[in-house]
Protein backbone atom coordinates (compact mmCIF):
# COMPACT_ATOMS: atom_id res chain seq x y z
CA UNK A 1 0.00 0.00 0.00
CA UNK A 2 1.11 3.57 -0.68
CA UNK A 3 0.07 6.89 0.83
CA UNK A 4 -1.10 5.36 4.08
CA UNK A 5 -3.66 7.67 5.76
CA UNK A 6 -1.74 8.07 9.02
CA UNK A 7 -3.17 11.45 10.03
CA UNK A 8 -6.65 10.26 9.20
CA UNK A 9 -6.01 7.14 11.30
CA UNK A 10 -4.99 9.29 14.25
CA UNK A 11 -8.23 11.28 13.96
CA UNK A 12 -10.39 8.15 13.68
CA UNK A 13 -8.58 6.55 16.62
CA UNK A 14 -9.25 9.58 18.81
CA UNK A 15 -12.89 9.71 17.73
CA UNK A 16 -13.45 6.07 18.61
CA UNK A 17 -11.64 6.40 21.95
CA UNK A 18 -13.74 9.42 22.96
CA UNK A 19 -17.01 7.72 22.03
CA UNK A 20 -16.26 4.20 23.19
CA UNK A 21 -16.38 2.70 19.71
CA UNK A 22 -14.33 -0.41 18.99
CA UNK A 23 -11.66 0.08 16.30
CA UNK A 24 -9.83 -2.66 14.42
CA UNK A 25 -6.93 -1.37 12.31
CA UNK A 26 -5.91 -3.48 9.33
CA UNK A 27 -3.40 -3.08 6.49
CA UNK A 28 -1.42 -0.37 8.29
CA UNK A 29 -4.47 1.88 8.51
CA UNK A 30 -5.74 1.33 4.98
CA UNK A 31 -8.72 -0.67 6.26
CA UNK A 32 -10.54 0.34 9.44
CA UNK A 33 -13.35 -1.58 11.08
CA UNK A 34 -15.38 0.56 13.47
CA UNK A 35 -17.82 -0.91 15.97
CA UNK A 36 -18.87 -4.50 16.55
CA UNK A 37 -21.26 -6.80 14.71
CA UNK A 38 -23.98 -6.18 13.76
CA UNK A 39 -23.19 -2.42 13.85
CA UNK A 40 -19.89 -2.39 11.99
CA UNK A 41 -18.71 0.34 9.65
CA UNK A 42 -15.76 0.25 7.27
CA UNK A 43 -13.35 2.96 6.15
CA UNK A 44 -11.27 1.93 3.18
CA UNK A 45 -8.40 4.21 2.26
CA UNK A 46 -9.86 7.71 2.15
CA UNK A 47 -13.42 6.49 1.60
CA UNK A 48 -15.54 6.95 4.73
CA UNK A 49 -18.44 4.99 3.25
CA UNK A 50 -20.85 7.93 3.15
CA UNK A 51 -21.20 8.05 -0.63
CA UNK A 52 -23.36 5.72 -2.69
CA UNK A 53 -21.61 3.25 -4.96
CA UNK A 54 -22.80 5.14 -8.06
CA UNK A 55 -21.64 8.54 -6.77
CA UNK A 56 -18.29 7.01 -5.85
CA UNK A 57 -17.81 5.46 -9.29
CA UNK A 58 -18.78 8.67 -11.06
CA UNK A 59 -16.39 10.76 -9.00
CA UNK A 60 -13.59 8.30 -9.73
CA UNK A 61 -14.17 8.70 -13.48
CA UNK A 62 -12.87 12.10 -14.64
CA UNK A 63 -14.38 11.88 -18.10
CA UNK A 64 -17.82 10.77 -16.88
CA UNK A 65 -17.87 13.51 -14.25
CA UNK A 66 -16.97 16.21 -16.78
CA UNK A 67 -19.63 14.97 -19.18
CA UNK A 68 -22.37 14.94 -16.54
CA UNK A 69 -21.45 18.39 -15.24
CA UNK A 70 -21.48 19.88 -18.73
CA UNK A 71 -24.85 18.28 -19.47
CA UNK A 72 -26.19 19.83 -16.26
CA UNK A 73 -24.96 23.32 -17.11
CA UNK A 74 -22.12 23.32 -14.59
CA UNK A 75 -18.92 24.88 -15.99
CA UNK A 76 -16.28 22.15 -16.03
CA UNK A 77 -13.00 21.35 -17.77
CA UNK A 78 -13.77 18.81 -20.55
CA UNK A 79 -12.09 15.42 -20.37
CA UNK A 80 -12.08 13.01 -23.29
CA UNK A 81 -12.19 9.30 -22.41
CA UNK A 82 -9.72 6.88 -24.02
CA UNK A 83 -9.91 3.16 -23.30
CA UNK A 84 -6.77 1.04 -23.26
CA UNK A 85 -6.47 -1.07 -26.43
CA UNK A 86 -6.04 -4.22 -24.32
CA UNK A 87 -9.68 -3.82 -23.27
CA UNK A 88 -11.01 -3.22 -26.78
CA UNK A 89 -9.18 -6.08 -28.50
CA UNK A 90 -7.30 -3.62 -30.69
CA UNK A 91 -3.55 -3.77 -31.21
CA UNK A 92 -3.15 -0.07 -30.48
CA UNK A 93 -5.28 2.99 -29.63
CA UNK A 94 -7.25 4.84 -32.28
CA UNK A 95 -4.42 7.28 -32.91
CA UNK A 96 -6.12 9.29 -35.69
CA UNK A 97 -9.05 10.18 -33.43
CA UNK A 98 -6.76 10.88 -30.49
CA UNK A 99 -4.46 13.11 -32.54
CA UNK A 100 -7.49 15.11 -33.65
CA UNK A 101 -7.71 16.31 -30.05
CA UNK A 102 -4.24 17.79 -30.39
CA UNK A 103 -5.24 19.49 -33.62
CA UNK A 104 -8.24 20.97 -31.84
CA UNK A 105 -6.06 22.21 -28.98
CA UNK A 106 -2.76 23.33 -30.56
CA UNK A 107 -1.55 24.83 -27.27
CA UNK A 108 -1.38 21.30 -25.89
CA UNK A 109 -3.17 18.68 -23.84
CA UNK A 110 -3.02 17.27 -20.34
CA UNK A 111 -2.99 13.48 -20.24
CA UNK A 112 -3.88 11.67 -17.03
CA UNK A 113 -5.14 8.32 -15.76
CA UNK A 114 -8.92 8.52 -15.90
CA UNK A 115 -9.15 7.28 -12.33
CA UNK A 116 -5.85 8.60 -10.96
CA UNK A 117 -5.29 10.90 -7.99
CA UNK A 118 -2.73 13.35 -6.59
CA UNK A 119 -1.37 14.37 -10.00
CA UNK A 120 0.53 11.12 -10.52
CA UNK A 121 1.24 10.15 -14.15
CA UNK A 122 -0.23 13.49 -15.27
CA UNK A 123 1.76 14.92 -18.14
CA UNK A 124 1.60 17.70 -20.71
CA UNK A 125 1.67 16.90 -24.40
CA UNK A 126 2.25 19.46 -27.12
CA UNK A 127 3.37 17.11 -29.88
CA UNK A 128 2.05 13.86 -31.33
CA UNK A 129 5.09 12.00 -29.98
CA UNK A 130 4.51 13.32 -26.45
CA UNK A 131 0.82 12.46 -26.61
CA UNK A 132 1.48 8.91 -27.77
CA UNK A 133 4.20 8.44 -25.17
CA UNK A 134 1.99 9.67 -22.33
CA UNK A 135 -0.89 7.40 -23.27
CA UNK A 136 1.36 4.41 -23.79
CA UNK A 137 2.78 4.80 -20.27
CA UNK A 138 -0.70 5.05 -18.74
CA UNK A 139 -1.99 2.04 -20.67
CA UNK A 140 0.95 -0.02 -19.44
CA UNK A 141 -0.53 0.05 -15.94
CA UNK A 142 -4.07 1.40 -16.29
CA UNK A 143 -7.29 0.67 -18.09
CA UNK A 144 -8.19 4.13 -19.33
CA UNK A 145 -7.00 7.69 -19.71
CA UNK A 146 -8.57 11.14 -19.73
CA UNK A 147 -7.38 13.94 -21.99
CA UNK A 148 -8.07 17.59 -21.20
CA UNK A 149 -7.00 20.79 -22.93
CA UNK A 150 -3.85 22.40 -21.56
CA UNK A 151 -5.11 25.65 -20.04
CA UNK A 152 -3.56 28.60 -18.25
CA UNK A 153 -4.94 28.01 -14.77
CA UNK A 154 -4.59 31.21 -12.79
CA UNK A 155 -5.82 29.79 -9.49
CA UNK A 156 -7.05 26.52 -7.99
CA UNK A 157 -9.17 26.05 -4.90
CA UNK A 158 -10.20 22.83 -3.13
CA UNK A 159 -13.55 22.65 -1.35
CA UNK A 160 -14.18 19.81 1.09
CA UNK A 161 -17.93 19.32 1.44
CA UNK A 162 -20.07 17.22 3.75
CA UNK A 163 -23.77 17.23 2.86
CA UNK A 164 -23.47 20.66 1.20
CA UNK A 165 -21.57 22.14 4.15
CA UNK A 166 -18.02 23.38 3.38
CA UNK A 167 -15.72 21.92 6.03
CA UNK A 168 -12.43 23.20 4.59
CA UNK A 169 -11.73 25.55 1.68
CA UNK A 170 -8.19 26.34 0.61
CA UNK A 171 -6.23 27.70 -2.30
CA UNK A 172 -3.41 25.62 -3.75
CA UNK A 173 -0.53 28.06 -4.04
CA UNK A 174 2.18 26.80 -6.35
CA UNK A 175 5.84 27.24 -5.33
CA UNK A 176 7.59 30.23 -6.89
CA UNK A 177 11.08 31.74 -6.62
CA UNK A 178 12.35 35.26 -7.31
CA UNK A 179 15.64 35.83 -9.08
CA UNK A 180 18.53 37.70 -7.47
CA UNK A 181 20.76 37.94 -10.51
CA UNK A 182 23.39 35.71 -8.95
CA UNK A 183 21.93 32.26 -8.47
CA UNK A 184 20.52 29.67 -10.84
CA UNK A 185 16.94 28.48 -10.84
CA UNK A 186 18.12 25.19 -9.33
CA UNK A 187 19.96 26.94 -6.49
CA UNK A 188 17.03 29.22 -5.73
CA UNK A 189 14.63 26.29 -5.70
CA UNK A 190 16.79 24.20 -3.36
CA UNK A 191 17.01 27.12 -0.95
CA UNK A 192 13.23 26.93 -0.41
CA UNK A 193 13.21 23.49 1.23
CA UNK A 194 15.21 21.70 3.95
CA UNK A 195 18.25 19.70 2.88
CA UNK A 196 16.48 16.39 3.49
CA UNK A 197 13.95 17.32 0.79
CA UNK A 198 16.53 18.23 -1.86
CA UNK A 199 16.55 14.87 -3.61
CA UNK A 200 12.78 14.83 -3.96
CA UNK A 201 12.71 18.42 -5.21
CA UNK A 202 15.44 17.75 -7.77
CA UNK A 203 13.42 14.87 -9.19
CA UNK A 204 10.40 17.13 -9.54
CA UNK A 205 12.46 19.89 -11.16
CA UNK A 206 13.91 17.44 -13.67
CA UNK A 207 10.39 16.67 -14.79
CA UNK A 208 9.54 20.36 -15.18
CA UNK A 209 12.66 21.93 -16.73
CA UNK A 210 15.60 20.98 -18.91
CA UNK A 211 19.13 21.20 -17.52
CA UNK A 212 19.98 24.47 -19.28
CA UNK A 213 16.95 26.20 -17.75
CA UNK A 214 17.81 24.93 -14.28
CA UNK A 215 21.42 26.09 -14.61
CA UNK A 216 20.58 29.55 -15.96
CA UNK A 217 20.90 32.54 -13.63
CA UNK A 218 17.47 33.97 -12.89
CA UNK A 219 17.52 37.75 -13.39
CA UNK A 220 16.90 39.96 -10.38
CA UNK A 221 13.20 40.41 -9.75
CA UNK A 222 12.14 37.72 -12.23
CA UNK A 223 9.72 35.17 -10.86
CA UNK A 224 9.45 31.54 -11.90
CA UNK A 225 6.88 28.94 -10.92
CA UNK A 226 8.51 25.66 -9.91
CA UNK A 227 5.60 23.49 -11.02
CA UNK A 228 2.75 23.75 -13.49
CA UNK A 229 0.70 21.47 -11.23
CA UNK A 230 -1.35 22.74 -8.30
CA UNK A 231 -1.12 19.49 -6.34
CA UNK A 232 0.12 19.68 -2.74
CA UNK A 233 2.11 16.52 -3.44
CA UNK A 234 4.11 18.51 -6.01
CA UNK A 235 5.04 21.38 -3.72
CA UNK A 236 1.96 23.60 -3.67
CA UNK A 237 1.07 25.11 -0.29
CA UNK A 238 -2.45 25.26 1.14
CA UNK A 239 -3.76 28.76 1.89
CA UNK A 240 -6.93 28.54 3.95
CA UNK A 241 -9.92 30.60 2.86
CA UNK A 242 -12.11 31.29 5.88
CA UNK A 243 -14.39 34.01 4.48
CA UNK A 244 -14.92 36.32 1.54
CA UNK A 245 -16.26 36.40 -2.00
CA UNK A 246 -13.69 33.95 -3.38
CA UNK A 247 -14.62 31.31 -0.82
CA UNK A 248 -18.32 31.82 -1.44
CA UNK A 249 -17.98 31.60 -5.22
CA UNK A 250 -15.90 28.43 -5.11
CA UNK A 251 -18.15 26.82 -2.51
CA UNK A 252 -21.28 27.57 -4.54
CA UNK A 253 -19.78 25.97 -7.65
CA UNK A 254 -18.54 22.94 -5.72
CA UNK A 255 -21.91 22.50 -4.04
CA UNK A 256 -23.70 22.59 -7.41
CA UNK A 257 -21.28 20.01 -8.83
CA UNK A 258 -21.71 17.69 -5.85
CA UNK A 259 -25.48 17.77 -6.24
CA UNK A 260 -25.24 16.72 -9.89
CA UNK A 261 -23.74 13.34 -9.03
CA UNK A 262 -25.34 13.05 -5.61
CA UNK A 263 -22.14 12.87 -3.62
CA UNK A 264 -22.16 13.61 0.12
CA UNK A 265 -18.57 13.67 1.36
CA UNK A 266 -16.13 14.94 -1.23
CA UNK A 267 -13.26 17.23 -2.13
CA UNK A 268 -13.85 19.25 -5.29
CA UNK A 269 -11.19 21.16 -7.19
CA UNK A 270 -12.27 24.32 -9.00
CA UNK A 271 -9.97 26.33 -11.24
CA UNK A 272 -9.86 29.87 -12.59
CA UNK A 273 -9.38 30.00 -16.37
CA UNK A 274 -9.77 33.20 -18.40
CA UNK A 275 -11.52 34.86 -15.50
CA UNK A 276 -14.10 32.10 -15.02
CA UNK A 277 -14.29 29.41 -12.36
CA UNK A 278 -14.79 25.83 -13.56
CA UNK A 279 -14.83 22.41 -11.94
CA UNK A 280 -11.66 20.44 -12.57
CA UNK A 281 -12.59 17.23 -10.79
CA UNK A 282 -14.62 15.66 -7.99
CA UNK A 283 -12.99 13.26 -5.53
CA UNK A 284 -14.90 10.62 -3.60
CA UNK A 285 -12.01 9.86 -1.26
CA UNK A 286 -11.19 12.91 0.86
CA UNK A 287 -7.42 12.87 1.11
CA UNK A 288 -5.99 15.33 3.66
CA UNK A 289 -2.59 13.91 4.61
CA UNK A 290 -0.52 16.76 3.14
CA UNK A 291 -3.00 19.39 4.34
CA UNK A 292 -2.69 17.86 7.79
CA UNK A 293 0.97 18.82 7.99
CA UNK A 294 -0.14 22.45 7.93
CA UNK A 295 -3.46 22.27 9.78
CA UNK A 296 -3.85 18.94 11.63
CA UNK A 297 -6.74 20.29 13.68
CA UNK A 298 -8.79 20.82 10.51
CA UNK A 299 -8.22 17.23 9.40
CA UNK A 300 -9.47 15.99 12.76
CA UNK A 301 -12.50 18.30 12.65
CA UNK A 302 -13.44 17.07 9.17
CA UNK A 303 -13.02 13.42 10.14
CA UNK A 304 -15.10 13.90 13.28
CA UNK A 305 -17.87 15.56 11.27
CA UNK A 306 -17.93 12.72 8.75
CA UNK A 307 -17.98 10.08 11.48
CA UNK A 308 -20.81 11.88 13.27
CA UNK A 309 -22.83 11.42 10.07
CA UNK A 310 -21.92 7.74 10.00
CA UNK A 311 -22.86 6.96 13.59
CA UNK A 312 -26.02 9.05 13.48
CA UNK A 313 -27.33 6.12 11.43
CA UNK A 314 -25.99 3.53 13.91
CA UNK A 315 -27.65 4.36 17.24
CA UNK A 316 -26.36 2.53 20.26
CA UNK A 317 -28.36 -0.03 22.13
Class of residue 214 by CB neighbours under 10 A (exposed 0-12, middle 13-18, buried 19+): middle
Per-residue pLDDT of the chain (317 residues; tens, 9 = 90+): 445 678 899 999 999 999 999 999 998 889 999 998 778 999 999 999 999 999 999 999 999 999 999 999 999 999 999 999 888 888 888 999 999 999 999 999 999 999 866 566 788 899 999 999 999 999 988 789 999 999 999 999 999 999 999 999 999 988 788 988 989 988 888 888 888 888 888 888 887 788 888 888 989 988 887 776 767 767 778 899 999 999 999 999 999 999 999 999 999 999 999 999 999 999 998 999 888 888 889 999 999 999 999 998 554 44
Residue 39 has a pLDDT of 83
CA distance 178 to 171: 21
Residues sharing a CB contact under 8 Å with residue 200, sequence separation 6 or more, in sequence order? none
**Could you tell me if 172 and 230 are in contact, meaning their C-beta atoms sit under 8 angstroms apart?**
yes
- Residue 317 DSSP label: -
Q: Which of 111, 275, 71, 247 is nearest to 170 (CA)?
A: 247
pLDDT score recorded for residue 50? 96
Of 192, 199, 160, 196, the C-alpha closest to 177 is 192
For residue 53, which of 61, 196, 70 has the smallest C-alpha distance? Answer: 61
- Give the pLDDT confidence score for residue 317 in this predicted structure: 40
Domains, in order of start, for the chain: 6-48+295-312 (no CATH), 52-76+152-174+227-285 (3.30.470.20), 78-150 (3.30.1490.20), 180-224 (no CATH)
DSSP bridge pairs for 313: none
Collapse the DSSP code of 210 into the 3-class scheme (helix H, G, I; strand E, B; otherwise coil) and give the result.
Answer: coil
Please enumerate, as own/partner, the contacts of 119-124 that have beta carbons within 8 Å and a separation of 24 or more: 119/229, 119/231, 119/233, 119/234, 120/233, 122/229, 124/150, 124/228
Q: What is the pLDDT of residue 117?
A: 65
Amino acid sequence: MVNHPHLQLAAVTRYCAERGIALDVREDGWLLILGDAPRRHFIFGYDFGLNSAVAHRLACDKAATASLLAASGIPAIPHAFVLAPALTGAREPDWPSILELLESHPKGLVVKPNEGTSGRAVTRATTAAELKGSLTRIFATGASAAIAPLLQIADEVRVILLDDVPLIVYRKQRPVVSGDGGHSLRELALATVPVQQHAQLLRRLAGEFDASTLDAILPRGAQRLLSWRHNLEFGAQPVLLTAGALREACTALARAAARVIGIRYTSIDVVLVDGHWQVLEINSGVKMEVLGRHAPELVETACFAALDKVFAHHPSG
